[in-house]
Structure 1
């Protein structure tokens, strides 16, 4: 089964366009199974602010106390997951929401409990169960939560969770959906980048701000199984008539 894993950031969920869903349907019609892993940073932040709970980040990871974890679970599994499932179904794509900590769909170990609290790295993915759902023509929509040791639930960086799922499923393509077209240079989309070219654009400031962690995550997604990684926009079509749009990260040399 040809599989595409899509990581959708929480900040772009409300901006997904009709054209984006048209691309999804085109890929489904071509026989691809699609699996979503979504984030939820903005909604988690809003809930924490409303509850007057302080939150901080260390090395790009949210320090997760028990209260922060409960809030993250509510935002991710109770709100955003349901929202994305409804959006897919409204566009004619049968989907099923999965809280990834249930029944060990994702399993993880603490990264550093003393410094980060309930934050983990994925160790196991129940790829068999995900594939069964795909065989039933359902699109799994997964939260970045995992079952930890001794019955705990761990918060997982959504990029890292999606990478783990893509590798476990040996996905043909890994897509990172953002609110921009891809990497831009002099106002023009860069269609393809190697690791060396990406690092050079970071050093010269062409890639800056929030795009830096996106491209770094894209490069980390490469593995023996995942050979095709893209940053695409959720505001427009990312696949039309067999052509991928956005920035593709490649291992061979390309010209910028």
Structure 2
């Protein structure tokens, strides 16, 4: 079920480690926007922290087509890191700057109803979002809280699922009626090589507007390459359902959220 929370709602997607490293000014801006009547909703990931914890526990992990193979043992660690350490660290950061926030996972209140991905026999307990409890999000934003959501899904039989944070963010945005999403990263947008030489210290430029088709063409041609590719493909996963565009921005830039919400030319705008 979809419901539009209000015209000032917006969804932020950010990697957990990136979000916790952002400057204090970013969290102060969240507080200011909330005071102005905006309703931020945050969906976070935490892949590197999960991998580090699995390594410390000597639990093997592997990726199949970009998704982490998730056994029951791996799922316990995923939930512990995302819903526990990572989620609460983000909540503390926001609250330290005066904003009201509540951390939860998709399990809480059946927030993210999930079902197995199509290749579940191969990849384990990895899910995709079937339904979002938009009313729960609405009740939190209406009472002045910023929801901070860890992407753990649950089905009607109580089975938990590891859900890709990008697709979870896109599903949340779509189900609450938000057509524009903000993806907060540590880069100013999609960086494209000025020429094809790939020389050391070669100048890069930020693409202001690009379609998903054009991105795939530039990856194929080599104009977008290396570490930029997973960042871009992650952002594209957010474009689903009612979501029409995603803006990739650097969270460390001053007043970055305000600039996006005002429609200023900042970062990279990706459209279908």
Same fold, TM-score > 0.5, yes or no? yes
Contact 1:118-1:153 at 8 Å conserved across structures: yes
Please say which of residues 54-63 and 219-228 is displaced more in the overlay.
219-228
Matched residue count: 251
Q: Could you tell me how far apart the structure 2 residues matched to 1:220 and 1:75 are?
A: 22
State the match for 2:251 in structure 1. Answer: 234
Please say which of residues 211-220 and 39-48 is displaced more in the overlay.
211-220
State the match for 2:201 in structure 1. Answer: none
SS of match in other structure, 1:71: helix
Given the two structures, how large is their TM-score scaled by the length of structure 2? 0.85
State the match for 1:133 in structure 2. Answer: 140
Q: Using the TM superposition, give the Cα deviation of residue 29 of structure 1 relative to its aligned residue in structure 2, in angstroms.
A: 4.1
Taking a change above 3 Å as real, the CA distance of residues 39 and 52 of structure 1, as seen in their structure-2 partners, is: same
Q: Which of residues 228, 232, 239 in structure 2 aligns to 1:211?
A: 228
The Cα offsets for residues 13-43 of structure 1, whole Å up to 9 and x where unpaired, read as 3321233224434433443211001101111
Taking a change above 3 Å as real, the CA distance of residues 181 and 41 of structure 1, as seen in their structure-2 partners, is: same
Q: Which of residues 76, 81, 84 in structure 2 aligns to 1:78?
A: 84
Contact 1:194-1:249 at 8 Å conserved across structures: yes
Please say which of residues 100-109 and 82-91 is displaced more in the overlay.
100-109
Contact 1:17-1:236 at 8 Å conserved across structures: no
Contact 1:239-1:245 at 8 Å conserved across structures: no
For residues 113-192 of structure 1, the aligned pairs below 5 Å read 113-185=120-192, 186=194, 187-192=204-209
Taking a change above 3 Å as real, the CA distance of residues 197 and 36 of structure 1, as seen in their structure-2 partners, is: same
Contact 1:18-1:236 at 8 Å conserved across structures: no
State the match for 2:65 in structure 1. Answer: 59
State the match for 1:245 in structure 2. Answer: 266
Q: Which of residues 36, 39, 46 in structure 1 aligns to 2:45?
A: 39
Q: Using the TM superposition, give the Cα deviation of residue 244 of structure 1 relative to its aligned residue in structure 2, in angstroms.
A: 5.4
Q: Using the TM superposition, give the Cα deviation of residue 190 of structure 1 relative to its aligned residue in structure 2, in angstroms.
A: 1.7
Q: Could you tell me how far apart the structure 1 residues matched to 2:241 and 2:65 are?
A: 27
Q: Could you tell me how far apart the structure 2 residues matched to 1:188 and 1:30 are?
A: 33
Taking a change above 3 Å as real, the CA distance of residues 19 and 191 of structure 1, as seen in their structure-2 partners, is: farther
Q: Could you tell me how far apart the structure 2 residues matched to 1:200 and 1:37 are?
A: 29
SS of match in other structure, 1:239: helix
Q: Could you tell me how far apart the structure 2 residues matched to 1:209 and 1:67 are?
A: 32
Please say which of residues 234-243 and 7-16 is displaced more in the overlay.
234-243
Q: Could you tell me how far apart the structure 2 residues matched to 1:117 and 1:149 are?
A: 18
Please say which of residues 215-224 and 225-234 is displaced more in the overlay.
215-224
Contact 1:8-1:177 at 8 Å conserved across structures: yes
State the match for 2:54 in structure 1. Answer: 48
Taking a change above 3 Å as real, the CA distance of residues 215 and 146 of structure 1, as seen in their structure-2 partners, is: same
State the match for 2:198 in structure 1. Answer: none
Contact 1:44-1:75 at 8 Å conserved across structures: yes
Q: Could you tell me how far apart the structure 2 residues matched to 1:137 and 1:48 are?
A: 36
SS of match in other structure, 2:157: helix
